[in-house]
Amino acid sequence: MGTKPGTPAIDAATWLRENGLRATHGRTAIVRVLDTSTVPLTLADIHEKVSAEGCDFATVFRFVSILEEKELVQRVAWIDGSTRHEIRSRDGHHHHHYLICRTCHKVEPIDECVVERFEDQIAKERGYTGLNHSLQLSGVCPDCQKPAKKKR
């Protein structure tokens, strides 16, 4: 929704109706959480942030599934084995490239994409269509390289 990650939703309810979905209290909260996050979230992450508004975990589960069926949200297999979810922005740009610290678990988005050209090459070579990719880098961030320091 928001043009840049981190930008709050202009209007979650309107966005929902535009996409043929009922704009309930819980749903707008879920959309707002997804829309303002710069990193993919687990269902538990989302629930934690909407439970204050009385939104149940089952609602998060079901509604995120609906958004994924409609391809408004992208499912991401996180490098630690968890499943995360990321809203697709309006401009159709939905890259999920991240740099993850193995020590403090901080997540930094990576803007550049070196894989796209490679994707085209593979598509030609092997005849695949509709290619999509998921790339995650993990390492130890500068802060965690300094001994005896913990974050998060």
Cβ proximity to DNA, 20 vs 147, nearer residue: 20
Cβ 29 vs Cβ 50: under 8 Å:
yes
Our CA dihedral for 8, 59, 16, 72, rounded to 10 degrees, sits at 80
Both structure tokens of 136: 């995650």
Site for a copy of itself in 83-142 (CB under 8 A): 83, 99, 101-102, 108, 110, 112, 114-115, 117-119, 122-123, 126-142
**Binding residues with a copy of itself: total (CB under 8 A):** 39
Q: Among residues 7, 19, 83, 145, which is the contact residue for DNA, using CB under 7 A?
A: 83
Closest CA to 1 of 58, 64, 86, 70: 86
Q: Choose the contact partner of 140 out of a copy of itself, DNA, none; CB within 5 to 8 A by kind.
A: a copy of itself
- Choosing from 2, 5, 42, 134, the residue that interacts with DNA (CB under 7 A) is 42
The region of 41-49, 92-100, 106-114, 127-135 touching DNA under the rule CB under 7 A is 41-49
DSSP string, 83-95: EEEEEPPTTS---
Query: Nearest-CA neighbor of 31 among 45, 57, 11, 3?
Result: 11
**How far lies 66's CA from each of 31, 62, 109, 119, in Å?**
12, 6, 25, 28
Site for a copy of itself in 59-78 (CB under 8 A): 75, 77-78
Q: Which residues bind a copy of itself (CB under 8 A)?
A: 75, 77-83, 99, 101-102, 108, 110, 112, 114-115, 117-119, 122-123, 126-142, 145
Q: Which residues bind DNA (CB under 7 A)?
A: 13, 17, 21-27, 42-44, 54-59, 61-63, 65, 82-83
